[in-house]
Amino acid sequence: MKKRVTELTGVKEIARRANVSIATVDRVLHNRKGVSKHTKENILSIIKELNYEPNLLAQRLASRKILRLATLIPEISKETSFWDAPLKGIEQADKEIKQFGIIIDKYFYDQNKIESFVEQTKTILDSKPDGILLAPSFIEESVRFTDNCRKLNIPYVLIDSDLPNEGSLSYIGPNLYHSGYLAAHLVSYLIKNEEKILVINISREIDNQHHLLKKEEGFRAYFDNHKKNDAILKIDIRDTDLKSIEKHLSKIFSEHNDIKIVFVTNSRVSKVAHFIESKKKDVILIGYDFLKENIEYMDKGIIDFLVCQKPRQQGYRGLISLYQHLAFSSPVEKIYFMPIDILTIENSAFYRN
Partner DNA sequence: CTGATTTACGGGTACGTTAACGAATATATA
Partner DNA sequence: TATATATTCGTTAACGTACCCGTAAATCAG
Site residues for a second copy per CB under 8 A? 1-5, 53, 55-58, 60-61, 63-68, 99-101, 130, 175, 178, 181-182, 185-186, 189-190, 284, 304, 337-342, 344-347, 349-352
> Applying CB under 7 A, does 326 fall inside the site for DNA?
no
DSSP-derived 3-state class of residue 263 = strand
Interacting partner of 48 out of a second copy, DNA, none (Cβ under 5 to 8 A depending on kind):
none
Beta strands in 149-211 (DSSP E): 156-159, 170-173, 196-202
DSSP-derived 3-state class of residue 132 = strand
CA–CA separation, 151 and 154 (whole Å) = 8
Interacting partner of 69 out of DNA, a second copy, none (Cβ under 5 to 8 A depending on kind):
none
The DSSP output letter for 188 is H
Residue of 169, 167, 125, 120 whose CA lies nearest to 143? 167
Are 287 and 263 spatial neighbours (Cβ–Cβ below 8 Å)?
Answer: yes
CA–CA separation, 130 and 153 (whole Å) = 9
CA–CA separation, 344 and 169 (whole Å) = 34
CA dist 351 → 191, 267, 295, 342 (Å):
26, 17, 11, 10
Are 272 and 264 spatial neighbours (Cβ–Cβ below 8 Å)?
Answer: yes
User: β-pairing, 284-288 with 232-237?
Assistant: unpaired
Residue of 164, 166, 173, 168 whose CA lies nearest to 156? 168
Give the interface segment with DNA, choosing from 15-23, 119-127, 136-144, 213-221 (CB under 7 A): 15-23
Q: For the window 36-55, what string marks contact with DNA as x by the rule CB under 7 A?
A: xxxxx-----------x-xx
98 vs 247, beta carbon nearer DNA: 98
Interacting partner of 350 out of DNA, a second copy, none (Cβ under 5 to 8 A depending on kind):
a second copy
CA–CA separation, 146 and 156 (whole Å) = 8
Are 295 and 273 spatial neighbours (Cβ–Cβ below 8 Å)?
Answer: no
Phi, psi of 167 (to 5 degrees): 115, -5
Among 29, 118, 213, 221, indicate the residue that binds DNA (CB under 7 A).
Answer: 29
> Applying CB under 7 A, does 119 fall inside the site for DNA?
no
Give the interface segment with DNA, choosing from 26-34, 154-162, 209-217, 333-341 (CB under 7 A): 26-34
Total residues binding DNA (CB under 7 A): 34
- The partner residues of 308 in beta bridges, in order of sequence, read 341
58 vs 152, beta carbon nearer DNA: 58
Among 16, 17, 22, 220, indicate the residue that binds DNA (CB under 7 A).
Answer: 22
Among 45, 61, 238, 335, indicate the residue that binds DNA (CB under 7 A).
Answer: 61
Interacting partner of 94 out of DNA, a second copy, none (Cβ under 5 to 8 A depending on kind):
none
Q: How far is the CB of 16 from DNA (least distance, A)?
A: 10
Among 11, 172, 184, 264, indicate the residue that binds DNA (CB under 7 A).
Answer: 11
Interacting partner of 29 out of DNA, a second copy, none (Cβ under 5 to 8 A depending on kind):
DNA
5 vs 349, beta carbon nearer DNA: 5
> Applying CB under 7 A, does 62 fall inside the site for DNA?
yes
56 vs 242, beta carbon nearer a second copy: 56
Interacting partner of 250 out of a second copy, DNA, none (Cβ under 5 to 8 A depending on kind):
none
Are 237 and 210 spatial neighbours (Cβ–Cβ below 8 Å)?
Answer: no
**With b meaning 16 or more CB within 10 Å and e meaning fewer, what string describes 60-75?**
beeeeeebebbbbbbe
Q: How far is the CB of 122 from a second copy (least distance, A)?
A: 21
| Interface positions with DNA (CB under 7 A) | 4, 6-7, 10-12, 19-24, 26-27, 29-30, 33-40, 52, 54-55, 58-59, 61-65
